[in-house]
Every structure is written in C-alpha cells, then in structure tokens.
A and B are shown apart, each in its own frame.
Chain A
C-alpha cells in the first residue's frame, strides 16, 4: 500500500509552488501544466554483444588501419641479416669450387656461408622462409651435414651421367628438410643448372589463386593458375638470369602472340611473367625448351641439367580446395603446375639433360595424406630391405655351419640401434628385434640349428601393406611408386657441435661450447633436430 502511494505523493508534493503562468488557479500544479507528450525519440540501438560497455572496452582507432596486404607482407617478410650479430671470422662460402668437393675439403659438420649472388637467386626463388632463423645472424649460412654432402655427390653423378635423381625428403618438424632443399638449390645454382622451385605447395592448392579449366591433350580437364604461373615465371627469370640470357628458343612456341624466333629464353620467360594470359603457354614452352636434349659436343643446342623442387609436397598429394563445375573437389594433380612437377617426380616426363627432382614434405602444416604416408613408409622400408636380406643370408650361412645352437653369434643383431634412424626404418627395425628375441630364446633352449634356420625363414622382411578397406589415392601412389625417399633426422653430435660453435661465434650463444653442452643440447633437441637445437640454444630465454 505504501509503495503504491509513493509515486503519487512524489508527483504532488504538498509544498508544490503553483507555477507563475497560472497565478489564480487552484488546481494542482501538474494539472495546470499537463505534461507534454513526448515526441517519438529514437531509442538507443539495442545492445549488441555481451561485453560490458566501458570506455576501456571500446576500441579507438589510434593509427591508420593496415593497408590491404600490409600484414601479409609483414608476416612473410624474410630478414636475412642482423647487424647486431657478430661477424664470424673465416666463414667460407659455398662456392663453385668447393660445392663438388665438400667431403674432401672437410666441410662436413661445418657451417658455410652463401655468396651474395646465390643469396639473390635463392631469395628470388623464395627459398628462404620467415620461420627459419636467418635473422639471427650477420649473413645467411648453413650447416653442411652428411645429407648435404651426399646430395652434392649425387649431383656430381647426375651431371656426369645425365640421369635424373628423383627424391623426396621427409622427417620430423624442424629437421632441416627445407634447408637441405635450399642447399641443393644453391649447389645447383652454383653448378649452372636451371633451378625451378615451387616454394609452397600449400599456396597452390588452398584455392587462394585464380584458376581456369583447360582441355589437356588426353581429353581430361586440367586447371591452370595464370597469375601464380606468371609469378613463378618471374621468379625463375630472376633466379636463373645468367643462364637463361645465353639460351635461345630452339623451336617456335605455340603462343597467341607472335614472338621473335631467336629470342633469348630470359626475355621469353619475362614475357610470360609480365602477362598472366601468356603465362601458361610460356611455361609449357619453357619446360619443353629445357627438356630438349642437348646436342653432342660443345656445338649446337646446349641445355644444362634442370633442378626442380617443391616444398610442402603433402598438400600436392591430395584433393585441393578448388572445386570443379559440379562443385566436386579437384585433385591437386589436376592443377597443371603440380601435374608437371608430379610427372617429373614420378619419372613419366624425362629430363634428357639430367637433373634432380627434389620434393620436401612439410611437418608443421601437415595435412592428412594417408596414401603418401603409406608410400613413404613402404619406399623407405624397401630401400633398406636389401640390407636386411643380406643380414639374413649371412646369418643363414653362419647357422648352417653350426653344430649346436648354443654357439650362435648374434652380434650383428645386438648392434641394432635402439631408435629408428635414417638407416633403419621403424617397421624393419621392429621385425629385426623380433627376430633377435626369437633366435636368442631358441639358442638358450639349445634347439637344433634347423629350428634356427626355420625361424630365419619365418622372418623375411615384410614391407608395410595398404589397408585394403581404405580408398587408395592411386594417382599419388603411382606418382610416388619409384621415388627415392630420404628421412631427414637429427644431426650427429659432431654436426651439432659445429652448429653450436657457429652460434657461439655469432654471439647468440654465450656459453663455452663443451662436450657436456653439446650432449645436453643434442638430447634436449630430441636427438639433434636442427630446429629444436636452435630453439634450445638460441631462442630459449630461461
């Protein structure tokens, strides 16, 4: 009751003074001045969002917003030098002279710099990545590891015998796959090869580039990416400037525009780089020019070996994010650039002048590629299975000569590494360990040597098999069927020491490089994984 009266009391207070305009009125003040009707006032907009409206919660534009592409440029920016880092004294460069003699000159396990022109070429190829630690040092340099030396020797063989080395690098994140690829590119550049690099397969398949269908010769539909192709041609022109200048077109290209018949390849490529409409026919013509067989001797048409590489190949071994006219996903191998690369990787398109096709998988942005994973495991095991078979045959000969099983010598099996390494793949290592257990138990029971031989026969190498209940991506499987796969694992301790000494000389590691420090950092980095080594030694701030 009291509450109900409250507002009325408040509306007509007893001591309300009558207003001046109604001096003689006895009616209540409010009746004399009836309240004005309120006009329709726009209500404040209904609150959106659930955050409390406080001044500190509202964002104020303090500076101009970043221009389109500015953030991306910042994200992708590659810094290759740091003037605060110390100059490493006596840092040799990877040069034309030593690129083919790395082992003889004792550079294995040491850091070698990159000369300015290689850096320019590699930068043009987008071989340096923003996530790599180039910005910590005075100038770009990389560790010459065992795999690098092997690649260099392989390239020497390629140059002499004009065969094609088709290889895929895979391994743990931060293991140095991309840098190994970069070193191969640098060495190919120094050898005067043509270097073509697809910096990131992901960029080609996530549907961020314009695409267009074309009818290929076999009647199927393929998709070209004109703008991307033009950019790629630009990169190729910049990187292979010196080599392409001296090469001329050998046959008239199929182009919608007329071209000078003996135009230099550099000019031709720049033509494609400048016009996206011409990019795809120019790419086709360039590839056919580069794969034209050289003539014997030093006279006539000469074409150098070709180095083709692609990073993040996992993304090119599955369906892309592009859709066809029926809104079905397009397989990445239907994108023409990837199709060309895959043809060279699988060996269906030959390189008559020799060369190297080097693919590297990506472990940090890894998509799900079951077929590729299987093929990698199988190829890796298949590469080791001859060694396995030799081991078995040696054991067979040894056991056949035995009188009793007690005398069996299993030292070859006891020296197996505890973890899968670059030499022994995981599947075969497990099989070998089972064989060891089996033979040891038989020997302990003092069974006849015939039993041991039977056990040997039962442990023939078994390669991983595809689960028949899962769909196999046959295009990927065919493409990868004969590719050499190489696992890039951690560094050895000697290599890790070279790396840490380089860090120390650059002034980013302020500790004395001792055996203890090397061992500790090697273990912490998961057995010498380079990226982790850098993280543990340089980037970590405890």
Chain B
C-alpha cells in the first residue's frame, strides 16, 4: 500500500518535471520546515536529531532502528530523545573498554557494524549550517512565543549581519529568501520584552548581529546654554561652521559680516537660513556664525547643517520638518583624490596615436 502511494507520487513528480517549468511549482507541496509544529503533534515532541555519541555499548549500532528514526513515530522519537540524553550523560565520546564504568558490558566496538552518523540531522540537506540555525531559531521562537513583546516599532534597533557576511561565514549557498526567513525569526525574537529576554535567546541573537552596531552611535546632544544659545557645528566638503542660534528677530552675522556682505550669491544666502526658512522660524532666531575652510557653497551648506542641528536643540519637535528640508543629514561627499596616470581624479590624458 505504502509503496504504491510512493510510486504514484514519484510518478506524478516525474510527469510534472517534464511539463512546462512555470507550472512545475504547482505540483509541489507548500514548503514546510522540518520543525514546524502541526496540529497533530505535541509542542515538545519534535526536536532536532541529537548528536550521535559513541558509548561503550558494543551493540549500540546493532539494533534495527529504521522505524524509530522516522519522524512519523512520535512516541519512538521521544523515547529516543530520552535514551540519547542518557547516553550523553553517560559519556561524551567513545572510550575504551577499560575506562568505561557505567554500562558494565564494555568491549571494543565492532567496526564492521560501526555506522558513522552525522552530527546534525541537517547533514544531508544542501545547507546544513543554515538549516541548523533556522531550526535553532524556530525552536527558540516556539519555546518563547508566549513571552510579552514590545509594541510595534519599539524593538531595539539592531543591524543584523548582511546576507553576504552570513554566506561567507557559513560557506553555504544561502539564498536571499532563505536568509529573509531567518531574519524574520530574528526580528520576532528581538521583539521579546528586554526585561524578560531569556539568556539563551540573547546569546543566540548575539551571533547574528553585526560586529559594529551603527545604531549604538548616539550623537552627542547639542547643549543649550543658560542664555538660550544653542551652539552646533555643521560641515560640508572641507568647510565647517559653528552656529550660535538664539531667539531673536532674524539677524545673521557671519564672521562679523552681514549675510549679504558675506555671501554675494543669493542661493548661498538661502542655503544658510534654509533650516529656519523651511520651518517658518526665520524671524524668530538670530544667528551668529563662525565658518572657515572650503569655498562659498561649502561654507553656506555647512552653516545650513549647523543651523539645523542647533534648531533641533531648541525645538526637538521640528526634527521631521528639518529632516525633510534636508538640513540634518551630513553630505559625506568630498573631493575625489587624484590618481597617478590621470590628469585629475578620473580624467585621462589626451589619447595620442603614437
């Protein structure tokens, strides 16, 4: 009976493989992970296959255990798990007969009957380490899914490893979608309330985080002095500007000169006060600026950045408006260096035939 079913499904697959490739997926079963719990199974019944340890028992591999290894026998699986735990408790590795104390029967293993079993049940998949990780994380999720979680958007920001980093580490062909599944699990685990986060979950998450966490770099807050002056520094190209922003009537002094004296170009003047203009605060503040380095445009845009930061120190609620105005983000572009063999950074010398 069983063989008939198998042959029938096998036949169907063979037929499907010969059909049009676009239709081939239809025949496949919806993907299901090895450890995904189903209604038919109990919560704790499915565990990844334990590591096979060699014991002193000479007949440990002689038992016929084919039906016991199949996952379709829950009771056998549980029994095996327990027995394995016992074996692990007895001894971590194969020991010669003399050293063995517990089982008593101790004799040399019968090498003819010796079967070398893989450490992981995922050994025979294409991506065993990935599958192990997936199983481990899904087991953690299953185990702790009833723990309280943080409200959406409040989870601590974490930079997970990129797929390239992960692939390099594992040396396995992990596909983007597969890694996406993994990251989804990581994010779900990251949502567990930090005060109740189990140690094992924290340890597991640690392995998937990037070495450097950019989100931990918190910028130093801009102080506001007792006179209500916020001082912030902005940079652009090679120019830098220290901006002193204080409540006022829209006066601007840059290096001791007025705005129109310092910047002849109208566009540069607009750039200077852009953060204030975009938030309709131009006639509410006075600016006193010291700027140096770079050229006029660089200085003007450095001032823009400094004003944006100083304004946020005085009115933090304007953050989104200032960001939309583009007066928060530092533009990291610099002059590209000149290279040997080139006239400038990229310009090639004139091509001459001989």
Contact = CB atoms under 8 A, between A and B. Distances in A.
A419 B258 contact: yes
Nearest to B276: A523
B280 A418 contact: no
A223 B75 CA distance: 125
B253 A529 contact: no
A519 B261 contact: no
A172 interface: yes
Contact of A419 (B253, B270, B273): B253
A219 B34 CA distance: 118
B258 A524 contact: no
Given A418-B248, A516-B280, A523-B283, A540 B266 contact: yes
Contacts of A523: 250-252, 259, 273, 282-283
A526 B277 contact: no
Contact of B258 (A526, A535, A536): A526
Nearest to A521: B282
A218 interface: no
A143 B337 CA distance: 53
Nearest to B277: A520
B261 A524 contact: no
Interface string A88-102: 000000000000000
A157 interface: no
A536 to B, nearest CB: 6
Interface in B234-252: 248-252
B340 to A, nearest CB: 30
A65 B266 CA distance: 36
Nearest to B283: A519
Interface string A486-520: 00001001000000000000000000000110011
Nearest to B257: A526
A18 interface: no
Given A419-B251, A522-B250, A523-B259, A535 B288 contact: no
A520 B273 CA distance: 9
Given A522-B250, A523-B259, A532-B260, A418 B283 contact: no
B286 interface: yes
Interface in A360-375: none
A113 interface: no
Contact of A524 (B273, B280, B286): B273
B258 A527 contact: yes
A525 B253 contact: no
Given A524-B269, A524-B270, A516 B260 contact: no
A519 B258 contact: no
A200 B273 CA distance: 37
Interface string B266-280: 100110010001001
A519 B282 contact: yes
Given A418-B248, A418-B288, A527 B259 contact: yes
B283 A524 contact: no
B258 A172 contact: yes
A507 to B, nearest CB: 21
Interface residues on chain A, size class: 20 to 34
Contact of B250 (A519, A529, A536, A540): A519
A418 B258 CA distance: 11
B283 A520 contact: yes
Contacts of A490: 258
A418 B277 contact: no
Interface in A372-389: none
Interface string B173-209: 0000000000000000000000000000000000000
Contact of A520 (B251, B282, B288): B282
Given A172-B261, A524-B266, A515 B283 contact: yes
Nearest to B267: A542
A174 B251 CA distance: 18
Contacts of B288: 418
Contacts of B283: 515-516, 519-520, 522-523
A419 B286 CA distance: 11
Interface string B285-296: 010100000000
A359 to B, nearest CB: 22
A362 to B, nearest CB: 16
Q: Which of B258, B266, B280, B288 has the most CB of A within 10 A?
A: B258
Nearest to B260: A526
Nearest to A417: B251
Contacts of A520: 273, 277, 282-283
A2 to B, nearest CB: 20
Contacts of B266: 524, 535-536, 540
Given A418-B286, A535-B266, A524 B248 contact: no
A462 to B, nearest CB: 19
Contacts of A535: 266
Contact of B259 (A174, A516, A526, A540): A526
A529 B282 contact: no
A140 B270 CA distance: 30
Contacts of A526: 252, 258-261, 269
B270 to A, nearest CB: 7
A515 B282 CA distance: 11
A342 B291 CA distance: 42
Interface string A148-187: 0000000000000000000000001010000000000000
A524 B253 contact: no
Nearest to A172: B261
A522 B269 CA distance: 12
Contacts of B250: 519, 522-523
Nearest to A518: B283
A321 to B, nearest CB: 28
Nearest to B254: A526
Contacts of A527: 251-252, 258-260
Contacts of A493: 249
Q: Which of A418, A523, A532 has the most CB of B within 10 A?
A: A523
B144 to A, nearest CB: 55
A541 to B, nearest CB: 10
A493 B283 CA distance: 10
Interface in A413-461: 418-419
Contacts of B258: 172, 419, 490, 526-527, 529
A535 B264 CA distance: 11
Q: Which of B248, B249, B251, B277 has the most CB of A within 10 A?
A: B251
7 contacts: A172-B258, A419-B258, A519-B250, A519-B282, A523-B251, A527-B251, A540-B266
Given A515-B283, A519-B250, A520-B283, 12 more contacts: A174-B260, A516-B280, A516-B283, A520-B273, A523-B250, A523-B273, A523-B282, A524-B269, A524-B270, A527-B252, A535-B266, A540-B266
Question: Which 4 residue pairs across A and B have the least CB separation, nearest first?
Answer: A526-B260, A519-B283, A526-B258, A523-B250
Interface of A: 172, 174, 418-419, 490, 493, 515-516, 519-520, 522-527, 529, 532, 535-536, 540
